[in-house]
Amino acid sequence: MARKNSLKPTKYQSIKELTMADGSKNYIAVFSYNGTRYPEKNLTKLFGASSAKAAADVLHNIKADLSKGIDVFGSKSEKVDSLVYAN
């Protein structure tokens, strides 16, 4: 299903605002880091970011974790590998 409302830019880099059907606001991260392009991540649903500033802070923490080698979102290859080697 296509998105009815478009993403609106905020004053914070890589953070977009999405108005939901009920009128609430969700904050979406659209970013790339260390050569990897990450798909849109809804920081409101995943991390409880209730404002654009909070979403920017969460994104900063996510990038710090990615720098340390912590896979915040989990990679698909790990999930596939665990299924393949589970035998």
Per-residue pLDDT of 42-70, as tens digits, reads: 999 999 999 999 999 999 999 999 899 88
What is the residue extent of each domain of the chain? 8-84
Tokens of 26: 């969700």
Return the higher-pLDDT residue of 73 and 37. Answer: 37
| Cβ atoms 63, 36 nearer than 8 A | no
pLDDT-based confidence at 1, cuts 50/70/90? Answer: low
Residue 50's pLDDT is: 93
* 12-33: pLDDT as tens digits: 999 999 999 888 999 999 999 8
The structure's pTM equals: 0.78
**Up-side HSE of residue 73: CA atoms within 13 Å toward CB?**
18
